[in-house]
Chain A
Amino acid sequence: MKISLNWLKDWLPLELDARELSGRLTSLGFEVSSLEKRGPAFRGVVAAKILEVSKHPNADRLRLCLVDDGTSRLTVVCGAANVAAGQLVPLARVGATLPGGRTLSAAKIRGVESQGMLCSAAELGLSGDHSGILQLPPTPLGGELAETLGPADEVLDVEVTPNRPDCLSHRGLARELAAFLKLPLKQAPASTPPAPAGQCPQVSIEAAKACPLYCARLISGVTVGPSPAWLAAKLEAVGLRPINNVVDVTNYVLLDLGQPLHAFDAARLAGPGLRVRFARAGESLAALDGKPYALSAEILVIADSARPVAIAGVMGGLETGVTEKTTSVILESACFAPPDIRRASRRLRLRSDSSYRFERGVDPEAVLEASERAAALIARLGGKGSSVSAPGIAGAPPPAAKPIQASAERINGLLGSSFPEPQIEACLRGLGRLHPEGPGRWLLAPRSYRRDLESAADLAEEVARLAGYDSIPSQAAPVPPRAAKATPYESLARRCRSRLSAAGLLEACNYDFVCEKTLRLCGLSSAEAPRLANPVSDEWTLLRPSLLPGLLQNAAGNLKHGAAAVKLFELGAQYARRGQAIEERRHLAGLLLGPLRERCWKPELAPDLGFHDAKGLAQDLLSGLPALKWTPLRQASGATAADPLFHPAAALRLELPEGALGTVGLLHPTISRAWGLERQPVALLDLDLERLLVSSWPQARFAPYSQFPASWRDLSLLADKTLPYAELEAAARGDAQTLRRLDLVDVYAGKGLPAGKRGLTLRLTFGRMDRTLTDAEVDSEIARALERLKAAGAELRR
């Protein structure tokens, strides 16, 4: 909300400049997001000296002033009482522009031509002071005042939190500052309206819960025209465009007191009377913003006898609005229930300064005050003939909020402070009526505008705010030692991150959103992907059903930027629709592409990564996990969301007794092409971490090893390419009791081998716990192993 420093001074004898003020507001809890100096909103106003003051021949209260503006002598008609010869005053010459955009022309006033205008501070928009002509400090005659008077105003953009609707006005913020700075709050200017005249409007409420109080006055004989400069300047300072004297007054009172008002053109209302009711099906309204709105039964309206004429608390109707032709005005001031206004505003997607305040809650006690203020002002600015009726009132202010038990002990107890009782009492006194209930204990009835106060905690905040948060000690009470515990997921995630990053993978972090197109490019169905009702963009319409599409996107992006290798992993949630519920499972996904090492001058150390690297990662990550089974994807039972991404013949499903744990394999070639990744193999890894959370990972325990030397033999074998290594290994192992290790140390499928064959070298290591094996013992184990291998289809290479 924009706050004008000049305007604030109407309420407060403030001597701070805008910077200091913004600091104070910040420590009170009102962040100031910007500070703006406003230059004078006038042009062509110069310093002039009054040479002579004489009586106007035709008017008692007007004077003629002969002034010298440095170049010529002019006669100016003036109504102010404080003019005297010798004064240095602002002279608006003919042709000058005044706040509100008005251009001054020569005019005859009661028969005497005025060759300009002497101005008050208010008329120049410099302050609210319109008590008399502004007296200037010594200034060269004829000097353009717009350049010498400095900033006319300073405007602060103040952020008011939703709990403090009472501060959405100049008076509201002034009240806060008065309490904080210990300054007296000025009284509202006297606004006694002229004696009631004209018929009091009839009003009725048909929705008492949504509108507890409604008040309307008839102001007749109004001449609608431009607002005076002081009013225009005030509105312009806070960013509002002056419209006419009636509308401007409603806006002015809104920003001054915080009570939204609305003015109807009485002549355009179908009488008799106004009623507050919910809209009926089929009704609609063209609002002041020029747009038509279809209304429904939960939207509260103000209606005349024929139709809705305003969306209650949000915006008035175009047809019944005030125009230059208006001569009588019905001025509405009311109190609406916040949820009803908020609902209507949301439903219609229509927000206004009124709805903003009503949905936060207005001060019920300001309803009549604002009505009276605004009516008197409209009557004053609306010309001689205007008169104001008595208010037509329906309903009553809602009952006051419940009193709060307050005690100094409780407040200090919450804050950890030791504010003395009188200080706390003084603060509470500012919040409402205080009934003593014992030493240091009170019952507090909060003021009507402090509906946010409900509990001791609220009072503690008020005390702390006024004293300053800095005055609360920084002191922690001793806490019994309690060791922090990690969740199982946290521990597992830490293990995954440290192992995979040590293995050379970079951790990625993708958004949780995808779109159908991305999924289609991945061969994934979007049928089960949860859909967002209000996505941020067309590319983010679904929640990801797998982490892998994100990594593929990252891989393609990195290749485009010239990366030779992409090794990524990500931990995160993937989502699936399960009837009315959304299933959210945390997964680990990995992607490997390109050489093991980049920019390596030993190419033999930088082979391209492939399936077996991904498999190795999974094996390392899951080492020690009992009952883990690897099954070719084609033979695996059941499906996971990411299955279509994998090459069915180049992927393994990892299974635990509880179900599928994940998949490791090569990217499907079709999808690879779709992403432009076909130039090198892409290996993928997908693990369901939720599955790992429920399975138990045994604690490592020491296994003794032999103190005696081991013996090893390499067996170079020749076997059909189609013979799986696993069968070969099983045959080599057999039941050999003294076999300690078996390692595959080479696989050769190049030249010099019979067609359809490959060579494999196994290293068998033998040993015993109690002694060294003899060569004869090892040889006989090898002989038996070779027999088993022969039976399995492998023989020694010659």
Chain B
Amino acid sequence: MATPKRSSWERACEELEARLSREDPAQAADLAALDRVRVGLLGRKGALTELLKALKDLSLEDRRALGPRAQGLKTLLEGKIAERQNALERTADERKLSAELDLTLPGLPQPRGRRHPLTQILDEMTRILSLMGFSWAEGPHVEDDRHNFSALNIPEHHPARDLHDTLYLADAPLLLRTHTSPVQIRSMEARRPPLRIMCPGRVFRHEAVDATHSAVFHQLEGLYVERGVTFADLKATLAAFMEQLLGSSEIRLRPSFFPFTEPSAEVDVRCLFCSGRGCPVCKQSGWLELLGAGLVHPNVLKAVDIDPERWSGFAFGIGVERLAMLKLGVKDIRQFYENDVRFLRQFDENIA
């Protein structure tokens, strides 16, 4: 049987519940209104506070029955008010920031530099070759006749020397290397086979400089010496290299002559620009001449005391500037050496 106290409390509670359903505190327009709602309900004299206080006048049994109802109401109310307060504060913050910040001002320039485009191309090539097991090797720019010529099967008074216009030093019997191949000799002198090396570097020619010729340029050389290395190995290696580098594994080998390889080949890659249909870049041939390659000449192996009957090898070389010009659309080789910041800035990473 409901006591009069209990029923009046229940009435007050129902009234409050009805009021709350009429005016949702979460509808308060701003933080001040919300605060008024909070004080009106949850303040020291607030309606809900009063109702909770009135609980203590009820019997223990009634308190047990009605207490949770009042508490539930309080939790709900506090949650709603907090949520509304959050939303109102967030809106105010956002309004304030958007007034202060001009999002259309340019981003502050980050002072980031660039690796030279030739470095980027070389890095890409050496990255691929290193994944194929080629280790780095290096040698000096100033070379002697033996390493640059005679050990590479280019004897003195041989017309093959005409293939390289050489720059000589004035005060010493030395020259500037005309290709990276002397590094082959140095590597084979220093280490016995098996050998799988690559040597990126500068080379020098006595050449009048114009848009497509330079007295200084870069080459990348590869050398692999092992038992039973064949021309078929060379073809497969170059195809894999070119596929990674250019996305074109279609290569063509043509007979050619280099004194330090036999058989020798010029290596063409399917034109990147026309896929072989013919365009001005490939001079309508559908092919781009990119590498020289071949099996290491037996005389070269003999020159470094490696028995050509027991060992064989292949070598290949690629001109870096030519590839860079093709990939980057540079028309004048001299621009690689002018160091105009307008040029150097253009080539960002991931070009290769």
Contact = CB atoms under 8 A, between A and B. Distances in A.
A780 B265 CA distance: 80
A604 B237 CA distance: 54
B133 A558 contact: no
A596 B342 CA distance: 17
A485 B135 contact: yes
Interface in B93-136: 105-106, 108-116, 118-119, 123, 129-136
A343 B157 contact: yes
A58 interface: no
Contact of A503 (B113, B158, B256): B113
B245 interface: no
Nearest to A561: B340
Nearest to A491: B136
A563 interface: yes
A568 B298 CA distance: 45
B167 A597 contact: no
A501 B112 contact: yes
B9 interface: no
Interface residues of B, number: 90
Contacts of B131: 484
Contacts of A498: 115
Contacts of B340: 557-558, 561
B232 A536 contact: no
B202 A497 contact: no
Question: Helix, strand, loop or mixed for chain B's interface?
Answer: mixed
Nearest to B235: A474
A582 interface: yes
A510 B339 contact: yes
Contacts of B202: 512, 572-573
Interface in B308-338: 308, 312, 336-338
A359 interface: yes
A506 B114 contact: yes
Given A414-B312, A567-B113, A457 B344 contact: no
B102 to A, nearest CB: 11
A507 B336 CA distance: 11
Interface string A179-205: 000000000000000000000000000
Given A29-B255, A474-B232, A530 B339 contact: no
B168 A506 contact: no
B157 A507 contact: no
Contacts of B204: 512
Interface in A497-529: 497-498, 500-513
A540 B170 CA distance: 13
Contact of B231 (A31, A472, A479, A490): A472
Given A417-B232, A457-B263, A511-B215, A596 B345 contact: no
A475 B341 contact: no
Contacts of A396: none
A569 to B, nearest CB: 8
Interface string B256-288: 110100111110000000000000000000000
A162 B345 contact: no
B255 A469 contact: yes
A710 interface: no
A477 to B, nearest CB: 6
Contacts of B196: 479, 482, 484
A508 B207 CA distance: 22
A700 interface: no
Contacts of A605: 108
B156 to A, nearest CB: 8
A281 interface: no
B115 A501 contact: yes
A490 B108 contact: no
Interface of A: 26-29, 31, 161-164, 338-339, 342-343, 359-360, 413-417, 455-458, 460-461, 464-465, 469-470, 472-477, 479, 481-487, 489-490, 494, 497-498, 500-513, 530-537, 540, 543, 550-551, 554, 557-558, 561, 563, 565-569, 572-573, 575, 577, 580-582, 584, 596-602, 605
21 contacts: A27-B254, A29-B257, A338-B159, A413-B230, A457-B295, A460-B295, A470-B252, A472-B231, A474-B236, A484-B133, A484-B135, A486-B136, A490-B136, A501-B112, A501-B113, A503-B113, A504-B111, A504-B112, A540-B215, A577-B172, A580-B171
6 nearest A-B pairs in the assembled complex, by CB-CB distance: A416-B232, A416-B230, A29-B255, A504-B111, A461-B263, A161-B257
Given A489-B138, A490-B138, A584-B141, 6 more contacts: A415-B230, A460-B231, A469-B253, A477-B229, A479-B196, A536-B207
